[in-house]
Amino acid sequence: MSGAAEAAVDPPHFHGHRDRLKARFLEHGSVSLADYELLELLLFQVLPRRDTKPIAKALIARFGSFADVLGAPVPLLCEVSGVGDAVALHLKIAEATAHRYARESVRQRPLLTSWNR
Q: pTM for the whole thing?
A: 0.74
| pLDDT digits 0-9 by tens, 16-54 | 677 788 888 788 888 888 999 999 999 988 998 888 999
CATH number of 3-107: 1.10.150.20
| pLDDT digits 0-9 by tens, 82-95 | 999 999 999 999 99
CA dist 57 to 39, 90, 92, Å? 9, 17, 18
| pLDDT digits 0-9 by tens, 57-80 | 999 999 999 999 999 999 999 999
Directed axis angle between helix 53-63 and helix 35-46, to 10°? Answer: 130
Instruction: Give the whole-angstrom CA distance, residue 36 versus residue 64.
Output: 10
